[in-house]
Amino acid sequence: MPQFQDLVVGDAVYYARERAVGLIYTTYERGRHERPGVQLLLSAGRDLSGFSAEEADQFLQPLGDTGLRYEFANVGQLARDYQRGVFGQAFLNARVLLLTRELTSPGPPVKWRFSPFCFFHHAHHHSDPSE
């Protein structure tokens, strides 16, 4: 039986169902003898909320640590933080992790919904639509 690793805040994942990179922004306890669940924010800003550890094992491909350190307060604050660019560098790091994985692993590449570099432009210029 495979050993599954618990995801932690700041971990990047690839969510194949949406063909999108996401960040774990908080974890939650599920029960005394159960592994923690995770909550996921996609790079487009959509909060997918909770995945049990078993769902995460099934649907989320871990990519690695992005360096993000985040203290989740509530969904309103999460949305404001996303708009302010708090997650920009972490999403850029997540895309680099995904690209590195694609380049070093055998098999067909992941199909991008967006160019891996379009988020870089968005993350650094999102407050000025004229650029």
Question: Could you tell me the pTM of the whole model?
Answer: 0.76
How confident is the model over 53-105, as pLDDT tens digits? 999 999 999 999 999 999 999 999 999 999 999 999 999 999 999 999 888 87
Q: What is the DSSP string of 66-107?
A: ---------HHHHHHHHHHTTTHHHHHHHHHHHHHHHHHSSS
What type of residue sits at position 56? A
| pLDDT > 50? residue 123 | no
**Closest Cα to residue 42, out of 13, 9, 68?**
13
| CB 30 within 8 Å of CB 37 | yes
**In which residue are the tokens 């949406």 written?**
18
pLDDT higher than threshold 70 for residue 128: no
**Domains of the chain by residue range:** 11-125
Q: pLDDT class for 31, splitting at 50, 70, 90? A: confident
> Which residue is listed with tokens 């063909």?
19
Q: What is the pLDDT of residue 102?
A: 84
- Name the strands in the sheet holding 11-15, side by side, starting at the edge strand that comes first in the sequence: 47-51, 37-42, 20-28, 11-15, 60-65
